[in-house]
């Protein structure tokens, strides 16, 4: 009889311990975790001297690779080329004219990649020099999401090949997949429970990158429903939780 009582008590203690562990696991699922959007920042530079003739972009505009962003002009350079070309038989003058014409090709500044204009740093008529920064482009390619996770949250994420994130601004869900750890946090197994693990995510469908804004936050939804419902242990824990709640109310 005493032995049976000991067995029952041991099972009860083990059950309570397992229930607490699963409940903690569920709490990590439910807790909203933020991730910050990081896009590749591409500075748009001038590669010649002159003045800004035309600006074809504005902040927030979506552009495609090859779109003309800014046009530069240099009347003095054009006049120099015209003057040199008058000396058709002068080899030195023609060589200098050809060199100057190469510089004219840099009057047209085109987008190096698909993306969103983040800043425009000049106005029409502004003087520019070599390597003057004209604008900032946030590229759509290689968009990443950085989240700081607890060890338990990292364990939850590492069990799932993908997970959902929610953008409050867009009022829609985005499907992400874990990518790489931050370079300074390569061994999450050695992290204490109070420490955070930096983990990057990428888009499962990269076509959704254009609508995201650099440095905005989205919420990672660490929910079991992301990956297909309950596990067998969940039904047992739900039953045990119900028993405990019923006993508490008596």
Tell me the pLDDT tens digit for each residue of 95-141. Answer: 776 766 777 788 889 999 999 999 999 999 999 999 999 999 999 99
Q: Report the run of H or E that residue 237 belongs to, with start and end.
A: helix 232-249
Q: List 45's β-bridge partners, or say none.
A: 133
23 or 208, which is more confident = 208
Q: Indicate whether 66 belongs to any domain.
A: yes
**What local confidence, expressed as pLDDT, does residue 70 receive?**
97
Task: Write phi, then psi, for 232 (nearest 5 degrees).
Answer: -55, -40
Name the domain count of the chain. 2
In which domain, by residue range, is 70 found? Answer: 41-139
**What local confidence, expressed as pLDDT, does residue 92 receive?**
73
Which structure tokens are listed for 119?
């800043």
| Domain end among 115, 139, 163 | 139
Q: Indicate whether 160 belongs to any domain.
A: yes
**What local confidence, expressed as pLDDT, does residue 32 receive?**
66
Q: Do 194 and 77 lie in a common domain?
A: no
pLDDT-derived band at 4 (thresholds 50, 70, 90) equals low
Average pLDDT over residues 237-244: 54
Cite the DSSP H helix spans in 41-89.
75-85
Per-residue pLDDT at 207 exceeds 50 = yes
| Domain end among 89, 106, 139 | 139
Q: Which residues contact 215 (CB under 8 A, 6 or more apart)?
A: 36, 37, 38
**What local confidence, expressed as pLDDT, does residue 3 receive?**
53
* Strand order from edge to edge, sheet including 68-73: 108-110, 68-73, 50-55, 127-128
145 or 158, which is more confident = 145
Q: d(Cα 131, Cα 121) in Å, to the nearest integer?
A: 13
Lowest-pLDDT range of 7-11, 81-85, 145-149, 233-237: 233-237
With contact defined as beta carbons under 8 Å apart, do 196 and 152 qualify?
no
Could you tell me the CATH number of the domain that includes residue 155? 2.40.30.170
Q: Do 45 and 130 lie in a common domain?
A: yes
For the CA atoms of the chain, what is the radius of gyration? 30
Q: Do 98 and 172 lie in a common domain?
A: no
**What local confidence, expressed as pLDDT, does residue 230 receive?**
47
CA distances from 15 to 2, 22, 76, 112, 247 (A): 20, 10, 86, 60, 16
Q: Do 68 and 183 lie in a common domain?
A: no
Q: Do 35 and 48 lie in a common domain?
A: no
**51-77: per-residue pLDDT in tens?**
999 999 999 999 999 999 999 988 877
Could you tell me the CATH number of the domain that includes residue 51? 2.40.50.100
Q: Do 52 and 170 lie in a common domain?
A: no
**What local confidence, expressed as pLDDT, does residue 22 receive?**
47
Q: Do 146 and 183 lie in a common domain?
A: yes
| Residue 27: strand, helix, or coil | helix
**In the chain, what percentage of residues exceed pLDDT 70?**
66
Lowest-pLDDT range of 30-39, 122-131, 207-216: 30-39
**152-202: per-residue pLDDT in tens?**
888 888 888 999 999 999 999 999 999 988 766 555 555 555 578 899 999
Q: Do 124 and 145 lie in a common domain?
A: no
Q: Do 62 and 114 lie in a common domain?
A: yes
Q: Do 170 and 102 lie in a common domain?
A: no
**What local confidence, expressed as pLDDT, does residue 156 receive?**
86
| Domain end among 139, 166, 190 | 139
Task: Write phi, then psi, for 65 (nearest 5 degrees).
Answer: -55, 130
Q: Indicate whether 104 belongs to any domain.
A: yes
Q: Do 104 and 165 lie in a common domain?
A: no
pLDDT-derived band at 93 (thresholds 50, 70, 90) equals low
Q: Do 62 and 124 lie in a common domain?
A: yes
């Amino acid at each position: 009889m005493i032995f049976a009582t000991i067995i029952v008590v041991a099972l009860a203690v083990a059950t309570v311990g397992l229930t607490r562990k699963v409940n903690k696991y569920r709490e990590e699922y439910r807790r909203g975790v933020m991730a910050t959007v990081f896009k590749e920042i591409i500075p748009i530079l001038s590669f010649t001297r002159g003045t800004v003739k035309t600006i074809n972009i504005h902040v927030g505009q979506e552009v495609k690779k090859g779109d003309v962003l800014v046009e530069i002009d240099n009347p003095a350079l054009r006049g120099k080329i015209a003057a040199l070309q008058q000396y058709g038989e002068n080899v030195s003058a023609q060589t200098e004219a050809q060199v100057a014409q190469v510089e004219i090709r840099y009057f047209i500044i085109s987008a190096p990649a698909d993306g969103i204009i983040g800043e425009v740093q000049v106005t029409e008529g502004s003087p520019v020099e070599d390597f003057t920064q004209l604008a900032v482009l946030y590229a759509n390619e290689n968009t990443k999401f950085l989240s700081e996770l607890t060890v338990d949250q990292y364990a939850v994420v590492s069990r799932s090949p993908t997970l959902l994130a929610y953008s409050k601004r867009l009022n829609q869900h985005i499907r992400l997949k874990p990518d790489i750890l931050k370079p300074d946090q390569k061994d999450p197994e050695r992290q204490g429970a109070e420490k955070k693990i930096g983990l990057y995510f990428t888009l499962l469908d990269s076509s959704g990158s254009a609508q995201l804004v650099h440095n905005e936050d989205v919420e990672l939804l660490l929910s079991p429903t992301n990956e297909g419902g309950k596990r067998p242990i969940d039904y047992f824990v739900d039953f045990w939780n119900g028993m405990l709640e019923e006993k508490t109310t008596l």
